[in-house]
Amino acid sequence: MLTRRLIPCLDVRDGQVVKGVRFRDHVVVGDIVDLALRYRDEGADELVFYDITASPDGRSVDREWVERVARVIDIPFCVAGGIRDVEVAREVLHAGADKISVNSPALERPGLIDELAAAFGVQCVVVGIDSLRDDDGEWRVRQYTGDPSKTRALARRTLDWVVEVQRRGAGEIVLNCMDTDGVRTGYDIAQLRAVRACCDVPLVASGGAGEPAHFVAAFEEADVDAALAASVFHSGAIAIPDLKRELAARGVKVRP
């Protein structure tokens, strides 16, 4: 049986892992390789590195740290942020990333997803979607969420975009539910369920994890394949080995 995955997400800036209190005040949390190894040793199933400044600034990912991580890490990892064409994606993959994740650039030019899938296969192509519930009750996509001053609300409905990105060649979807992001009150189960109903590729829940029960709910009630979290892992509030034990005790299949 395929197990459910736990994925710590690390924000990277200038080759170091940072934590944003608010967008501007980034504190260096540690060296990227040290933290990657720590999570690997704790039993993380996969890692996501998100270059937080790449997309809003129009910069692309610095490949040097990708290679440093690839040399030491023996679990899969995905690189997100600033990948806007096939050539940059190729460099990131050749540097050793297993997957690349696109978000804002795919909204600028949806054909990017088709190009990436054709060049590398759908298994490499992750599409990240930032989604917020509007006042009319509809979930819609947000762009450039890395910088609040540049974030744009789009007319595009989240569920329509989920269907479209799969048709174009997304091999996995990370749904970041902005209503619950950063508040640690639990994943947005209603939205994840709605997306799950139209998502045939692996689906990763993001935004809202605060305690182990939230992970159980995402897996059991929304049937997601993986759960991503940042602050609860970085702060040590939830230790991955404890979380895995709890998930297993609740009947969720995880890698021991």
Catalytic machinery residues: 11, 130
Per CB under 8 A, 86 contacts another protein: no
Q: How far is the CB of 248 from another protein (least distance, A)?
A: 12
Provide the strand spans (E) within 63-166: 77-80, 99-102, 125-133, 139-143, 152-157
Per CB under 8 A, 84 contacts another protein: no
Burial 1-12 (b: 16+ CB within 10 A, else e): eebbbbbbbbbb
Considering only residues 226, 228, 229, 247, which one is a binding residue for another protein as defined by CB under 8 A? 226
Query: CB under 8 A: which stretch of 31-39, 122-130, 154-162, 205-213 binds another protein?
Result: 122-130
| CA triple 215-184-102, angle to 5 deg | 75
The sign one gets for the Cα dihedral 61, 65, 71, 76 is: negative
Q: Which of residues 136-195 bind another protein (CB under 8 A)?
A: 171-172
Per CB under 8 A, 120 contacts another protein: yes
Q: Which is nearer to another protein, 17 or 66 (CB)?
A: 66
Structure tokens at 120: 């590398």
Query: Distance of alpha carbon 121 from its chain centroid, rounded?
Result: 19
Considering only residues 28, 85, 94, 167, which one is a binding residue for another protein as defined by CB under 8 A? 94
Query: What span, in angstroms and rounded, lies between the C-alpha atoms of 43 and 241?
Result: 7
Q: Which is nearer to another protein, 30 or 43 (CB)?
A: 43
Q: How far is the CB of 2 from another protein (least distance, A)?
A: 5
Interacting residues of 240 by C-beta distance below 8 A, sequence separation 6+:
6, 8, 39, 42, 43, 44, 233
Query: What span, in angstroms and rounded, lies between the C-alpha atoms of 31 and 218?
Result: 30
The sign one gets for the Cα dihedral 180, 182, 187, 192 is: positive
Per CB under 8 A, 220 contacts another protein: no
Q: How far is the CB of 3 from another protein (least distance, A)?
A: 5
Considering only residues 193, 202, 221, 245, which one is a binding residue for another protein as defined by CB under 8 A? 202
Structure tokens at 18: 């940072």
Considering only residues 29, 37, 75, 86, which one is a binding residue for another protein as defined by CB under 8 A? 75
Q: How far is the CB of 253 from another protein (least distance, A)?
A: 9
Smallest Cα–Cα separation from 194: which of 107, 131, 125, 114?
A: 131
Query: CB under 8 A: which stretch of 16-24, 63-71, 154-162, 176-184 binds another protein?
Result: 63-71
Q: How far is the CB of 131 from another protein (least distance, A)?
A: 20
Residues found near another protein in the complex (CB under 8 A): 1-5, 40, 45, 67, 70-72, 74-76, 90, 93-96, 98, 119-124, 171-172, 200-202, 223, 225-226, 255-256
